[in-house]
Amino acid sequence: METQNLTLPVLDFSVIGPRTGERFPDFILPDQHGRPVDLHADRERRRALVVFFRSASW
């Protein structure tokens, strides 16, 4: 039986997602209380730092 040598593609993370200063895509997510938060509507044109945190416990 032959074994396949599988390799993962190399990802250039510098080109994934919006660039610095570029408008972030519109989305609505729940806050810690379950209330919907619209990224662009709720900030009233103020800047935002968006951080996605993936928990290690599922």
**Span 2-55, pLDDT tens digits:** 667 788 888 887 777 777 778 888 889 888 899 998 888 877 778 878 777 777
Distance from C-alpha of 20 to C-alpha of 17, rounded to nearest angstrom: 10
pLDDT score of 15: 79
List all residues 6 or more positions away from 26 whose beta carbon is below 8 Å from its beta carbon: 38, 39, 40
pLDDT score of 57: 66
Distance from C-alpha of 6 to C-alpha of 9, rounded to nearest angstrom: 10
> How far is CA 42 from each of CA 33, 35, 52, rounded to the nearest angstrom?
16, 12, 18
pLDDT score of 35: 92
Structure tokens at 1: 């039986």
**For all residues of the chain together, what is the average pLDDT?**
79
Q: Where are the domains of the chain?
A: 28-58
Three-class DSSP category at 28: strand
